[in-house]
Structure 1
Amino acid sequence: MDGGGAASVRELPQRLWPGPGDSEQPFLRSLAAAHALAKIIRPCYGPLGLQKLLVTAKGETVLTGYATAILGALELEHPAARLLRDAALSHAEHSGDGSAFAVLLAEALLAQAERLLLAGLPRAQLREAYAAATAEALALLPALAVRALGPLEDPFWALHSAMNTHTLSDAGGLARLVAQACWEARELDGTFRPERLGVCALRGGPLDRSCLLPGLAVPGRPCGQVTAVVGGARVALFACPFGLVDPNAPATATISCPVELVRFRKGTDYVTEKQVLQLAMGAVNVAVVCGPVAERTLAQADQCGILVVQVKALRDLQGLSEALGTPVMPYLLPPRPLGRCERVFPQALGEGEGAAVVFQWDGPDTPALTLVLRAASKEGLRGAEQAVYHGIDVYAQLCQDPRLLPGAGATEMALAKALADRGAALEGPRGPALLAFAQALRSLPATLAENAGLAVSAVMADLTTAHQRGHFLVGVGARGLMDVAEEEVWDCLAAKAHALRTVVDIVLQLASVDEIVLAKPGAPLPRDPGPNPRKAQERPPSAGGQPGAASSERGAGRGQLKRAQSPRK
């Protein structure tokens, strides 16, 4: 195949469809796992995708259409599926979203790689050809960028398409609020730090009641009689219980008389008083606790004038730590340095569970702003929160690289056309590899059309014709083809380039796997024979192989995926 002429190159794509006998022994052991994982994610791809009703391992019911949340809730047994899932989640952590794109493109590239291997292409040449195709696709991306976010331009139009998901009822209003928050949180030199924007999600009320607050608001409440500090707040953060929550439990077995009980009570009172006095002597007047609060310690804090705020999540402490510049302490000791702000007070933000504690600074250069989100249901609040974080991440990327690509599958079709034209003119293994890469890219707009309820074959035929005529701004919409520029559907160039690199990297790794080796669990350690070693020797040996034994899996039927199961009743 390497030394053949143009005729042999043209014959290779016709041999990519294997016969019935060739499909019994697949070349890629990870292809079945990729198919199973993509089958779960494919219905959720795009703004018109469906949602999943998940029951996590902890028994929590989650209704979501975000591929990142779905992948995080799955319990995977196949090692290739875990590698693919980790790569998709890594890309989502970097770019804010795009895990569904990563999974679907990786599955399509592995399927095309299987056909190339069945056609006789060696694995080494497949890896080289896929790497070359990726380099050409990355080189073509800047030429497809037709819009860019200006330094003084309202970012609403760029964030709306990124946040317009099927989980939001008012994506436009929420995107406008996020655009305002990102614009006000910018530095004077135009840089943007995402940690300056906090998100406070409160259930109750409609989504249009969401607002932007100066300062940092966290869901929580004051616990004691001191409810606010209005001048010179000095804050300490604790990821531990506030005091001895249950002092009697660990010592009930050692107390044998009333005298010892009285001594124990006095000792716990002394420890409690000492802990609170250490905070007061360290100039702490606000203590934020993620954990239970003891009544006796709270009473001591009220006497010392310390405001005790209880929060539910550790991420609230992390946000406060970044904004206040103080560490999170694992025990009740005053930190160095203390977090400082002007005032700390509770604020009711509407009906329902709309209670939060606000940390505010004076002056226009406040170090933090808070997006307060309201929603009537827990699922709606979770979807709005994920969309807000995605919008913040997209704006952070646009501050680094303001170029935007056509969305709605237009970029994938433009890349597929360019790679297919290039591959049809090449000789050797790179030509069929470019054609296979282009076919994998075409599967993404086809999935958008399928999830929109359109006739996939007719839509893809019209879309291919439009791109062949040079209309590379044509994508897939709710009713068929649409002009991406008129509908203002855009993708971030930096996120798309990072996704391509991540996907091809994991595909090249999985394409080099010839078998999956599963190590058996080792034999348990021998028990202590005790006073009668003869009975211990008469015990039958435990089942299991020797430590380090391994078994090879050569078929595609073993090591399947296991979805998140509901707990047994």
Structure 2
Amino acid sequence: MTQIIVLNQNTRRESGRKVQLGNIAAGKTIADVIRTCLGPKSMLKMLMDPMGGIVMTNDGNAILREITVQHPAAKSMIEVSRTQDEETGDGTKSVIILAGEVLSVAEQFLEQQMHPTVIIAAYRQALEDSLEVLRTKVCISIDTNDRTQMLNIVKSCLGTKFISKWMDLACKIALDATSTVYVDDNGRKEIDIKRYAKVEKIPGGTMEDSEVLKGIMVNKDVVHPKMRRRIENPRIMLLDCNLEYKKGESATNIEITKEEDFAKILQAEEEFVKKMCDEVIALKPDLVITEKGVSDLAQHFLVKAGISVIRRVRKTDNNRIARACGATIANRTDELREDDLGSGCGLFEVRKIGDEYFTFLVDCKDPKACTILLRGASKDILAEVERNLQDAMNVARNVMIDPYLCPGGGASEMALSQALNEKAKSITGIHQWPYRAISRALEIIPRTLIQNCGANPIRTLTALRAKHAQGEKTTWGIDGMTGNIVDMADFGIWEPLSVKQQVYKTACETAILLLRIDDIVSGVKKMDAAMPGHAQSAPAGQPPGPGGE
């Protein structure tokens, strides 16, 4: 059956082997950008956005977010990094480097006229086998209640980051924050770092001043100067409504003819606000926090009752406060009940840091939400430290949810490479060559670590291969600082199993997806007017020339 594709003159089409080789080249290019950022001796990239802002980082996802590319295969590679970051929060560089290498090793088979479906079948088999070997032979289980062991795991994640200078403090912050937001609901574990572990960056001070608060901090001050700025064991009321006169729902016009009518309207307004305030005061809270506004009149009534008020708090911050102090957010004042108030907070205090006022709700009895207070020299440094801390918290979260570890430093990849190489001998037919190519591709992680710290890749990798070929241990890997071969079990570099699994799955699936493409049809006009089939503009009143409409 003949396939007929009708294209208009604005559509261009590339097909067959040319597309597959183009996709491989795009994948390799993206991987090459990221490659120097892997390991403790990694280099930083300086990124400039169109507005002139500068970001300096070695975080794979942060770099790829800022890169603008045209090639569709390169765009899908960048998407892979984002997926990895959302799923596990770590391994964003490894997944890109590995995906680029898995694509790269397929190039020779395409040039030898091997059909992509044969390569894909071998890749799928290799992925299944590697995941099985990883869980049965390479990983170890751990006790998540052992704090020392958990700190070591987080430490191995931060070793490659900018924050490694303040390693002990950062590990403690990451572990404390993750443990705080950990909720075990009838065996269903939930650790929502994004929503309940907020990082607040305040330039100034030193990095050593950073801490995890046993509660919440927001950048707000009380609305009236006479309100109390320090209350111990406050009763806290959270509102999601205005404490001011309710305006008309639609555009409301009132025409007043007599002066007494104006007085009546003002009186109705005052009575409405007083009624709301009385409903609040009846429950005797010490502190009222609302997401909306508070009128001057309401402030007057609440100050007389000795109640402190904070207004226009973000919805997300209000949710965190509710979780930390045990209050319930009320939508209307007439629906307020005694059990809506929270009394789980030990201290409410407004402190001045630099030029700004910050509200602290700390010493909570059982906070299931927290604020990480970061101090440092400048905004750029604090932004990079925040990115590093997010990675560290994600590592702690992954281990708490799935308590299995794999050796780091390229040891897991070398162990899998050796296992796949042995298994390839039992595979008959043409499939064994792409299968064996995956085992070679996995070696890119230790090779990159060796290259980034300036050691000799060929000699070191050969020695490492020999160590794994002896088959005694699967924990031999690379010390990223010196390039020497070390036993990761003694060296103490471990990575969560869930991150490793996600890296291998995502990298192989991406490579398979890009190899299955044999046609790129684009409806974008070619810029080059000299290209055949391009609609060239004709003088007014004349029909376009050949290739025109």
Report what 1:14 is aligned to.
none
Task: List aligned pairs for 1:160-559, cutoff 5 A.
Answer: 160-168=155-163, 169-182=165-178, 193-195=190-192, 198-203=197-202, 204-225=204-225, 226=227, 227-228=229-230, 230=232, 233-236=235-238, 278=276, 281=279, 286=287, 288=289, 302=303, 307-309=308-310, 315-320=316-321, 322-323=323-324, 338=340, 340-343=342-345, 345-348=348-351, 355-358=358-361, 361-362=364-365, 365-470=366-471, 471-472=473-474, 473-483=476-486, 484-520=488-524
Change (3 A) 1:519 1:392: same
Instruction: Give the C-alpha shift of residue 281 in structure 1.
Output: 3.1
2:215–2:370 CA contact under 8 A, matched in 1 = yes
Change (3 A) 1:518 1:220: farther
Residues 90-124 of structure 1 show CA distances to partners (whole Å, capped at 9, x for unaligned) of: 22122121111111111111222233222222122
Report what 2:546 is aligned to.
none
Q: How far apart in 2 are the matches of 1:173 and 1:399? A: 20
Q: TM-score, normalised by structure 2?
A: 0.74
Task: List aligned pairs for 1:91-130, cutoff 5 A.
Answer: 91-130=84-123
Paired residue secondary structure (1:372): strand
Higher mean displacement: 118-127 or 94-103: 118-127
Change (3 A) 1:333 1:509: farther
Amino acid at match of 2:42: G
**Residue 79 (1) aligns with residue 72 (2):** yes
Q: How far apart in 2 are the matches of 1:328 and 1:41? A: 45
Report what 1:565 is aligned to.
none
Amino acid at match of 1:63: M
Residues 346-398 of structure 1 show CA distances to partners (whole Å, capped at 9, x for unaligned) of: 35497686944225544xx4434444332222233223333333333222222
Higher mean displacement: 177-186 or 161-170: 177-186
Higher mean displacement: 71-80 or 509-518: 71-80
Higher mean displacement: 69-78 or 482-491: 69-78
Unaligned runs of 5+ in 1: 1-22, 522-539, 542-569
Instruction: Give the C-alpha shift of residue 285 in structure 1.
Output: 6.7
2:215–2:361 CA contact under 8 A, matched in 1 = yes
Q: How far apart in 2 are the matches of 1:76 and 1:328? A: 45
Q: How far apart in 1 are the matches of 2:295 and 2:45? A: 40
1:221–1:357 CA contact under 8 A, matched in 2 = no
Instruction: Give the C-alpha shift of residue 273 in structure 1.
Output: 8.7
Amino acid at match of 2:411: A
Q: How far apart in 1 are the matches of 2:430 and 2:362? A: 62
1:278–1:334 CA contact under 8 A, matched in 2 = no
Instruction: Give the C-alpha shift of residue 175 in structure 1.
Output: 0.8
Amino acid at match of 2:498: A
Residues 197-239 of structure 1 show CA distances to partners (whole Å, capped at 9, x for unaligned) of: 634434222222223332233344334333355555344365x
Amino acid at match of 1:474: G
Q: How far apart in 1 are the matches of 2:125 and 2:266? A: 70
Instruction: Give the C-alpha shift of residue 139 in structure 1.
Output: 0.6
Instruction: Give the C-alpha shift of residue 489 in structure 1.
Output: 0.6
1:214–1:369 CA contact under 8 A, matched in 2 = yes
2:99–2:511 CA contact under 8 A, matched in 1 = yes
Change (3 A) 1:122 1:287: farther
Q: TM-score, normalised by structure 1?
A: 0.72
- 1:55 is matched with which residue: 43, 48, 62? 48
> Number of matched residues?
492
1:109–1:440 CA contact under 8 A, matched in 2 = yes
Higher mean displacement: 338-347 or 79-88: 338-347
Instruction: Give the C-alpha shift of residue 486 in structure 1.
Output: 2.3
Instruction: Give the C-alpha shift of residue 420 in structure 1.
Output: 2.1
Instruction: Give the C-alpha shift of residue 146 in structure 1.
Output: 4.1
Change (3 A) 1:496 1:84: same
Report what 1:41 is aligned to.
34
1:237–1:321 CA contact under 8 A, matched in 2 = no
Residues 30-88 of structure 1 show CA distances to partners (whole Å, capped at 9, x for unaligned) of: 33332332233222222221222223355543222211222333344433333222232
Change (3 A) 1:41 1:175: same
Paired residue secondary structure (1:170): helix
Amino acid at match of 1:214: K
Instruction: Give the C-alpha shift of residue 133 in structure 1.
Output: 0.6
Q: How far apart in 1 are the matches of 2:115 and 2:417? A: 23
1:182–1:392 CA contact under 8 A, matched in 2 = yes
Higher mean displacement: 39-48 or 100-109: 39-48
Change (3 A) 1:479 1:361: closer
Report what 2:544 is aligned to.
none
Paired residue secondary structure (1:71): helix
Q: How far apart in 1 are the matches of 2:41 and 2:265? A: 63
Residues 113-159 of structure 1 show CA distances to partners (whole Å, capped at 9, x for unaligned) of: 23322222212222221111100100110211246235445321122
2:30–2:96 CA contact under 8 A, matched in 1 = yes
Q: How far apart in 2 are the matches of 1:453 and 1:290? A: 55
Q: How far apart in 1 are the matches of 2:516 and 2:298? A: 60
Residues 229-268 of structure 1 show CA distances to partners (whole Å, capped at 9, x for unaligned) of: 5555344365x99979xx9xxx9xx99x9999xx999989
Paired residue secondary structure (2:460): helix
Q: How far apart in 2 are the matches of 1:44 and 1:333? A: 57
Q: How far apart in 2 are the matches of 1:219 and 1:61? A: 25
Report what 1:549 is aligned to.
none
Change (3 A) 1:460 1:120: same
Instruction: Give the C-alpha shift of residue 480 in structure 1.
Output: 1.5
Amino acid at match of 1:160: K
Instruction: Give the C-alpha shift of residue 487 in structure 1.
Output: 1.9
1:276–1:301 CA contact under 8 A, matched in 2 = no
Instruction: Give the C-alpha shift of residue 438 in structure 1.
Output: 1.6
Change (3 A) 1:403 1:228: same
Amino acid at match of 2:238: A
Q: How far apart in 1 are the matches of 2:393 and 2:55? A: 23
Q: How far apart in 2 are the matches of 1:268 and 1:51? A: 63
Change (3 A) 1:430 1:149: farther
Instruction: Give the C-alpha shift of residue 434 in structure 1.
Output: 1.6
Unaligned runs of 5+ in 2: 1-15, 526-539, 542-549
